[in-house]
Amino acid sequence: MQNETLSVIHHRRSIRKYKAEQISDEEIQAIIEAAIYAPSGQNLQGWHFSVVQNHELIVKMRESMKDNMRATGAAAQIARANDPAYVPFFDAPAVIVISAEFGSRFAQIDSGIAAENVTLAAESLNIGSCIMTSSAMVFAGANADELKHAIGIPEGFEHTCTIALGYKAENPPAHERKNGTVNYVK
């Protein structure tokens, strides 16, 4: 069985190479509208979406993330942050930071549902996306409050995930799906 929605789901991939061209305002608005129409626990809608299209701010976020990775002292994190090929947010021209009310028991799942709506709406417009949770490292250092303020994260809200968005500069194939992950009880 196939329809337009199922086709979008099957064709969506995590994109890690983007064209420099900025996404149009109309496209961003359509994507954000899809996010706010996501279901949420008890319909609390306890999320916030910060759409960052300012290149200088994205660079600050990227450098903060790498600095904080180095500060962990973990060899793998340090090596990744020091790798010249590692570019957080993949040079995407737009980044959506999803935050949620601190302490909400629904924050992670509601943000994940909204993030999926973002990626599917983007794919339906032929815009690439990549969901990242490692971006929490952006806010792991001494400049966290400064960055939260610059990005527009409301007081009392915490980062849940980030989505890189942009016109695709790659079209990767689907990864093989695992067998044995579903059973039916009738």
72 assigned to some structural domain: yes
Q: How many domains does the chain have?
A: 1
Is pLDDT above 90 for 102?
no
pLDDT score at 104:
85
Region label for 103, one of left (φ > 0), alpha (ψ between -120 and 50) or beta (otherwise): left
In a domain, 186, yes or no: no
- Asked, for residue 40, whether it belongs to a domain, the answer is yes
pTM of the model: 0.94
Residue 181 forms part of a structural domain? no
Instruction: Examine residue 70 and state whether it is found in any structural domain, yes or no.
Output: yes
Give a yes or no: residue 103 inside a domain: yes
How does the average pLDDT of the chain come out, rounded?
95
Average pLDDT of the segment spanning 50-62:
97
Mean pLDDT of the 58-73 span: 96
Taking 90 as the threshold, does the pLDDT of residue 103 lie above it?
no
Tens digits of per-residue pLDDT, 11-53?
Answer: 999 999 999 999 999 999 999 999 999 999 999 999 999 999 9
pLDDT for residue 174 is more than 90: no
Range of the domain at 31: 4-167
β-partners of residue 94 are: 165
Q: Work out the pLDDT band at 143, boundaries 50, 70, 90.
A: very high
Supply the pLDDT for residue 154: 97
Output the pLDDT for position 2: 87
183 occurs within a structural domain = no
Instruction: Please indicate, yes or no, if residue 9 is contained in any of the structural domains.
Output: yes
Residue 69 has pLDDT above 90, yes or no: yes
Q: Residue 114's domain is classified under what CATH number?
A: 3.40.109.10
